[in-house]
Amino acid sequence: MNTGQVKNLIDSYGKRVIEILLPPEADVPWHVHSAVIEYCYCLSGQFDFEKYGSEAITLHPGTHCKVPVCIPHRVVNRSRKDCRFLIVQTGGYYDFVHLKSRG
């Protein structure tokens, strides 16, 4: 992950909440989770959230999106300012399966 700061707020089986500070031009690369549903919630700044097979959406403070299990996705900060967001994961065990770039 090409991030500035990651804080684990809750990290237990079946639930995980992390706060990520993503600097300009940084990204969380393409990946999937085998057993968790992921919710992404923008706290400040803006960033693009991309799910494979869907158009990218730009999240702004107060907006969020959901990623079902096994759907490839990534986060990209294309702005000139830091963005900060929460990742909330529910379900089974946490894993991060890195995928090659999808272009």
Q: What is the CATH number of the domain that holds 93?
A: 2.60.120.10
| Structural domain contains residue 103 | no
The token duo for 76 is: 């990209």
Number of domains in the chain: 1
Asked if residue 77 lies in contact with residue 25, where contact means CB atoms within 8 angstroms, the answer is yes
- How do residues 25-83 score in pLDDT, each as one tens digit? 999 999 999 999 999 999 999 999 999 889 999 999 999 999 999 999 999 999 999 99
Bridge partners of 87? 18, 40
What is the pTM (predicted TM-score) of this model?
A: 0.88
| Measured distance CA(85)–CA(44) in Å, rounded | 7
pLDDT digits (tens, 9 = 90+) for 1-27: 566 799 999 998 889 999 999 999 999
Domain-located, residue 31: yes
Gap between the Cα atoms of 24 and 33, Å rounded: 25
Q: In which band, very low, low, confident or very high, does the pLDDT at 92 lie, cut at 50, 70 and 90?
A: confident
Q: Which residue has the tokens 């490839």?
A: 72
